[in-house]
Amino acid sequence: MLVIADSGSTKCDWRIVAEDKTYIDCATMGINPYFHDADVIEAELRNNEQLMRVANEVKALFFYGAGCSSTELKRTAEQGLNRIFPHAEIYVDHDLVAAAFAVYEDDPCIACILGTGSNSCHFDGDIVREEVPALAYILGDEGSGSYFGKKLLSDFLYKRLPQNIHDGLVDKFGLTKDIIIDRVYMQPHANVYLASFMKFITGFKSEPYVQDMILEGIGRFLDIHVTCYRDFEKVKTHFIGSVAYYHEDILRQAAEMRNIQIGKIIKKPIDGLYDYHIKNYFEHISF
């Protein structure tokens, strides 16, 4: 069996592929070696019945994850995965590589992630290249769920929200300053907590406050992470992630203002990853 996994900080999508190319999908929490050591990764996967049922039959595992950007962090992920899939050849790489593979159409392109976090790369079919670094949720992640969640909560505390959005936050989450400060500064995974408000924000997508916020944040992402590539006006720019997917209209507006050619806009890359690996790797796997 072949397993393909794509993990953001919030959720990991798994596709288990049989020799006849049929597959089943499952999901776990997001696995990020920046936050999770090998023991945590192992424990999380052992809780998934579908993965454990096939673990000893898996011959190859392609794992693409947020945080898998250095040799040390890749090794942490690989150690946890090896404990679950002892007979598999394991390949670990960054989720940005997954984005590039998932949207590639045989021509050079720019691939972007707009989910819990944000990032971009240029892919020519051979080399995945970043022009500027991703700085995570404290210094960067422009246009991401964590970026907009941070903006929403700061405006809530500064009493700068429209009254209906303010009241909606209080009614739905019972928010107070103490709760927010504790979750952001004292508890782990603040980025995931901040991004969790994206669903609430999307529920108010017709509000001018939200439209302006999304346009500013996505515009800032495009200015930093897309126009940095010299050929950005000549190649297609593809987007993966829930922020791009659910706010496609504003994304297209911001892109048009910058002469950016929009390509694919997809919620998650697992289907594209499946197609890419079937085309490029499947025949080389010893089932």
201-223 residue pLDDT tens: 999 999 999 999 999 999 999 99
151, 167, 209, 273 from 160: Cα distances, Å:
10, 12, 10, 42
pLDDT bin (cut points 50, 70, 90) of residue 93 is very high
28, 164, 167, 175, 284 from 179: Cα distances, Å:
27, 20, 16, 6, 52
Q: Is residue 264 pLDDT above 70, yes or no? A: yes
> What class is the 2-99+270-284 domain?
alpha beta
Tell me the pTM.
0.88
Given strand 261-266, what is the order of strands in its sheet?
Answer: 128-129, 118-123, 109-114, 236-240, 261-266
Q: What is the pLDDT of residue 280?
A: 80
Q: Is residue 110 pLDDT above 80, yes or no? A: yes
Output the DSSP codes for 152-200: HHHHHHTT-S-HHHHHHHHHHH---HHHHHIIIIISS-HHHHHHTTHHH
Q: What is the pLDDT of residue 124?
A: 93
In terms of Cβ atoms closer than 10 Å to its own Cβ (0-12, 13-18, 19+), residue 254 is: buried
Q: What is the pLDDT of residue 189?
A: 85
As given in the structure block, the two tokens for residue 165 are 């959005």
